[in-house]
A = this chain, B = another copy of it.
Amino acid sequence: MCPPHFPHHLPYLSLSLPCPPLTPPCPRVPPGHPRFFNQLFSGLDHHALAGRFLTETLNTTPYTYEVAPVLLLMEEQVLAKLRELVGWSSGDGIFAPGGSMSNMLAMNVARFQRFPESRSRGNWDLPRLGLFASQESHYSILKGAALLGIGTDNVHLVRTDERGKMIPEELEKEIQRVKAEGSEPLFVCATSGTTVLGSFDPLDAIADVCARHGLWLHVDAAWGGSALLSPQLRHLLAGIHRYVPPPVPLRRCSPSQIPGLLQRCHGMGATYLFQRDKFYDVSLDTGDKSPQCGRRADGLKLWILWKAVGTRGLARRVERAYLLEQVKRREGFQLVMEPEFLNLCFWFIPPSLRGQHSSPEFWDKLGKVAPAIKEKMMRRGSMMVGYQPHGSRVNFFRQIITNPAVTRRDLDFFLDEIQELGRDL
């Protein structure tokens, strides 16, 4: 957003707000730029943007039919399409402001389904609950446990294999251990598309464990759910239709058998908003299913995007190969692992460190390479890419392409630039 230098052919927005007089230089490559690979988001889809402009201009909130009729119907239609993608012909849903909040709502609904009295009486009369998620799960599981009064200590992080996938046998062991300690297992969060490695937990095997113990299975597919759109990648989420096998007393029922759960869990029926004496069918007033009151009508942008691009068009955005081939071909680039999805994780090994793989100080030095290259690229303002350490692995780059405007030229530039910036380290 600062005065940028953009030797680039693609249009995007440049704000000419002056940088305030601060020490850190303003990054020059904003998320809309085709050389921004820094996060799980980037770029701009024109159809979705049109939807967002409409949403902002309409300036309403989809809680009641009378103030957002078409938006509410669109939301319902998009939710039905999403359920269809999962493999359900019925069910329920609501849009939430982001994946973190969605994970929290899932935990809350699971608690309410098992212990309906918790809504009125809190956690005090409940046994100590146990939540399970993999070591690679998103940090919002911990945030949610803290917010919900369950506590981060009661989130049991299940070991993953070398690819970052939850090990179902380890889940089984954790559940046994937690039971033995006197807590009551409630909820398993499987992750489809982990944040760093882009790993997919084995849903079918995890669902088996959940069914055995009567646990609520939640799938955090905020990142990897789009793989469902692709016939090539869909298999990564095999078993996701077993998403909600609720525990006692409704063992093994399908989502269609728990109608109204969101409404019963979150609804408060405020008489100034959800009046029952309206002249139309008040089941169209779906807003009380959410813990929010006012909400943005986020269904619209997805409705427009999906209509405009189509399922096949969306699928093409998650199928990719070019950069992977290049990373394998070029000297100095080393994959952390063969990717399954959009997360391409790799180290750049500067010439000075090549051929020293077994040396103990090699990893120590390598861990400083990514931050050093990142600093150089931010000061130069040429591009953006994220890095992080991971378990015993030292800092590596995580490259993500989600921007439909990215071209092969940008990807060649991406690798060239890392080579150049890291040459003398």
Contacts and interface: CB of A to CB of B under 8 A. Distances in A.
Q: Which of A41, A139, A149, A374 is the most central at the interface, judged by chain B CB atoms within 10 Å of its CB?
A: A149
Contacts of A61: 39, 41
Contact of A97 (B54, B97, B196, B277): B97
Most chain B beta-carbon contacts within 10 A, residue among A38, A146, A271: A146
B57 A13 contact: yes
Copies in the assembly, this chain: 2
A31 B398 contact: no
A53 interface: yes
Interface stretch (A63-71, A207-215, A357-365): A63-71
A411 interface: no
Interface of A: 1-2, 13, 15, 17, 19-20, 22-27, 30-32, 38-39, 41, 43-44, 49, 52-54, 56-61, 65-71, 73, 97-101, 104, 108, 111, 118-124, 128-129, 138-140, 142-154, 195-196, 265-266, 268, 270-272, 275, 277-281, 284, 291-296, 371, 374-375, 378, 384, 386-390, 395, 398
Dominant secondary structure at the A interface:
loop
B99 A293 contact: yes
A294 B99 contact: yes
Contacts of A71: 1
Given A281-B24, A291-B143, A387-B275, A56 B67 contact: no
16 contacts: A1-B70, A13-B58, A15-B58, A24-B284, A27-B69, A31-B60, A32-B58, A39-B67, A43-B59, A100-B293, A121-B154, A122-B129, A271-B388, A272-B398, A278-B374, A279-B371
